[in-house]
Amino acid sequence: MRISNLPGQISESKTLAITALAAQMRTQGRQIISLSAGEPDFETPRVIREAGIQAIEKGWTRYTPAAGKPEVRKAVADSLQRDFGLNYKSEEICITAGTKPAIYESLLVLLNRGDKALIFAPYWVSYPDLVKMAAGEPIILKTQEKNGFLPTKSDLEKVFAEHDLSCVILNSPSNPTGTVWPPDLLEDLVGLCADHETWILSDEIYGQITYGGTLHVSPAEIRGGRKLTVVLNGLSKAYSMTGWRLGYLAAPKDVTKAVAKIQSQMIGNACTISQGAALEALGKDHSKERNEMLEAFSHRRGYLLERLPNLKGFSLRAPAGAFYMFPGVQALLDHQNWDDERFCMEALQEIGVALVPGSAFGFPGHIRISFAASLDDLKEALHRLETWVTALWSGSKLAN
């Protein structure tokens, strides 16, 4: 029997695949330290968990409007104003079952078959495949580490001149690099998008996780940017709610209505119980709990910035946001005659440390290290890595 050829055109998420392999090895008795998963290692704050329980008790167990319960949409609008300085009305908000569906449904609205979507490499692993699933064509613009993994203004002008772009996917702070786009570069991007009638899909899921006084700025804040930007966000990262599957988008009303129409046919509505938890999370100021998590991330970030540059063959740029390091390891790969996928498989098999290859993010020669793990795990992982890397350079074999 025949099936669609679409599954053959897209890739399995390598981050999830490596995490699954690491879990399988644990069941076999291996002591695995996973630095591959992109989820905080903190519990959802108690008051938010209790709000989810109360939602069940209050009978929030039935269908809602496709765009979400009105009071939850208002809470999102209030949060966008309070936390990001963005002014949206409730009718410009759509609640989704996680941020990934918000991205995909937005692409279904903004792209016709064959339309082009610009993606900056390194990119989050799902962007190119989500574009393909929406029948679009991903256009990859590779940045350079020496430029902080940011495109230059001339890079932007060139790609806009060469391609008729329907949308640009922006992720700031970035997964996997932690790069935060500065306001002046955002102004360049917004100007080009306005001139070429190109949409911006702005994935701001890490917008509340920044370091050293770095401020997240949305393209919707830039003059002329609001009318051409779809702001994408969710509760997974800043509120440690990955399993609750609750995201949202904010956009001009016609886009939001179109997304809700598609969502009504795809899933109906996001989980009502999760919407109850979101009403608490977004409707009130939970900066205290978030700052406690951010302080822990900052401490871990500092530890890795101190240790990783000491590993021979590693290059590193400090992340300004998110909770990842994206060191270059090309010198070590050349020494071993490996690629980055081989490096990560060897690290998992030899020393029990799960990492993600940079090629998964469209940027070979690097690895992604998540510091959404305990400091004790990070210290043990770095001890194993340092011992192993030293042995690789010396040509010696680690004892199993």
Length of the chain: 400
Q: Over 70: is that where the pLDDT of 398 sits?
A: no
The DSSP string of 272-292 is HHHHHHHHHHHHS--HHHHHH
Secondary structure tally for the chain: helices H, strands E? 13, 12
Do 7-43+288-393 and 46-284 fold alike per CATH? no
Q: Over 60: is that where the pLDDT of 18 sits?
A: yes
pLDDT digits (tens, 9 = 90+) for 270-325: 999 999 999 999 998 888 889 999 999 999 999 999 999 999 999 999 999 999 99
pLDDT digits (tens, 9 = 90+) for 87-134: 999 999 999 999 999 999 999 999 999 999 999 999 999 999 999 999
Check if the beta carbon of residue 214 is closer than 8 Å to that of residue 356. no
Mean pLDDT over residues 57-76, rounded? 97
Quote the pLDDT of residue 382.
97
pTM (2 decimals)? 0.94
- 7-21, 150-164, 241-255: range with lowest mean pLDDT: 7-21
Give dist(CA 279, CA 285) in Å, integer.
11
Residue 397's pLDDT band (cuts 50, 70, 90): low
**Could you give the C-alpha distances from 287 to 26, 153, 167, in angstroms and in order?**
35, 35, 33
pLDDT digits (tens, 9 = 90+) for 325-352: 999 999 999 999 999 999 999 999 999 9
What residue ranges do the domains of the chain occupy?
A: 7-43+288-393, 46-284
- Name which residue leads in pLDDT, 31 or 210: 210
DSSP 8-state class, residue 40: -
Give dist(CA 347, CA 66) in Å, integer.
45
Quote the pLDDT of residue 35.
94
Distance of alpha carbon 4 from its chain centroid, rounded?
28
Alpha helices by DSSP H, the chain: 14-27, 46-57, 70-79, 99-110, 127-133, 153-162, 183-196, 253-266, 272-283, 287-307, 330-336, 340-351, 375-394
Q: Is 173 helix (H, G, I), strand (E, B) or coil?
A: coil
Q: Collect all residues with Cβ–Cβ distance below 8 Å to 197 and sequence separation of at least 6.
A: 228
Give dist(CA 371, CA 32) in Å, integer.
15
Q: Over 80: is that where the pLDDT of 51 sits?
A: yes
Residue 8's pLDDT band (cuts 50, 70, 90): confident
Give dist(CA 18, CA 373) in Å, integer.
16
Residue 399's pLDDT band (cuts 50, 70, 90): very low
Q: Over 60: is that where the pLDDT of 400 sits?
A: no
Q: What is the CATH number of domain 7-43+288-393?
A: 3.90.1150.10
Give dist(CA 273, CA 176) in Å, integer.
31
Q: Over 50: is that where the pLDDT of 63 sits?
A: yes
Check if the beta carbon of residue 119 is closer than 8 Å to that of residue 138. yes
Q: Which fold has domain 46-284?
A: Aspartate Aminotransferase; domain 2 (3.40.640)
Q: Over 90: is that where the pLDDT of 151 sits?
A: yes
User: Of 349, 390, 386, 355, whose CA–CA distance to 370 is shortest?
Assistant: 355
Mean pLDDT over residues 223-244, rounded? 96
How many Cα neighbours within 13 Å face the side chain of 299? 12
Distance of alpha carbon 15 from its chain centroid, rounded?
11
Check if the beta carbon of residue 280 is closer than 8 Å to that of residue 255. no
Average pLDDT, the chain: 94
Check if the beta carbon of residue 133 is closer than 8 Å to that of residue 13. no
- Name which residue leads in pLDDT, 24 or 64: 64
